A = this chain, B = another copy of it.
């Protein structure tokens, strides 16, 4: 298997070259940051609310799809059904971000429905991945109430069970496809003080999936790129308002060489 630093650096290079269009069906809170982060890293964001337009967009020019359940409604679930079906029919990779699954019934049932359609990558925190894998962990809103380590084995089970790569994020991020696992210690706790930093990572994972050699490599690259950008942002600001601004700057300014030199494989 390639080294983590090479995966991350090469994925960034490819995003910059190809500017994949990522259709993000995501929650209403994080849309501005998500779109700005995709633009900053070099991808092309698109966001829609109408089901028929989601299908049209994926068919016309979609390179990847994000499905984030953060503020799910019945109408949005319908759009997500159409979008994931279209993505599967066209071979477009898609990422499931199961925000607060395990805590809220409607989305938990819907996440299981989506699981059966085989996402390319699932990105969640420890509690969300444990819940998706069938364990009784509880999430507390957007926060994880357990560490990523506790969910690493559940992530492997989940990956083997549903055929997706799984990215569990936390102090250490674990990317696994059930066979191999890549772990990354990049990042900074200040990322948890910015609304949408995790959700935007889901969109970045979709951008990575559009260009990477495998779902596992896409998941691992997204973890490294987010972690490195978070570290650089924190070096420029210790308070969350400025940190969020510097995070976008860091995604824009970072180079494959810098990513390679800063990757912390575990």
Stretch at the interface among A48-56, A153-161, A211-219: A48-56
Contact B103 A56 (CB under 8 A): yes
B contact residues around A196 at 8 Å (CB)? 32, 35
Minimal Cβ-Cβ distance residue in B for A45? B195
Q: Of B31, B104, B194, B246, which is within 8 A of A39 by CB?
A: B194
B contact residues around A35 at 8 Å (CB)? 29, 195-196
Within 8 A of B (CB), among A86-125: 100, 103-107
CA distance A185 to B138 in the complex (A): 43
User: Mask for A4-39, Cβ within 8 A of B = 1, else 0?
Assistant: 000000000000000001000001111111011001
Known A57-B104, A248-B241; contact A71-B48, beta-carbon cutoff 8 A: yes
| A44 interface contact, C-beta 8 A | yes
Known A40-B193, A141-B57, A249-B239; contact A29-B47, beta-carbon cutoff 8 A: yes
Contact A36 B106 (CB under 8 A): no
- Copy number in this complex? 3
B contact residues around A246 at 8 Å (CB)? 241-242
B contact residues around A57 at 8 Å (CB)? 103-104, 141
Query: Which residues of A come within 8 Å of B, CB atoms?
Result: 21, 27-33, 35-36, 39-40, 44-50, 52-53, 56-57, 60-61, 70-75, 100, 103-107, 138, 140-143, 193-196, 237, 239-242, 244-249, 252-253
Interchain Cβ contacts under 8 Å between A and B, 22 examples: A29-B31, A32-B33, A36-B241, A39-B194, A44-B142, A45-B141, A47-B70, A48-B71, A48-B104, A52-B105, A52-B106, A53-B107, A56-B103, A57-B103, A57-B141, A73-B75, A193-B252, A239-B252, A240-B248, A241-B244, A242-B245, A242-B249
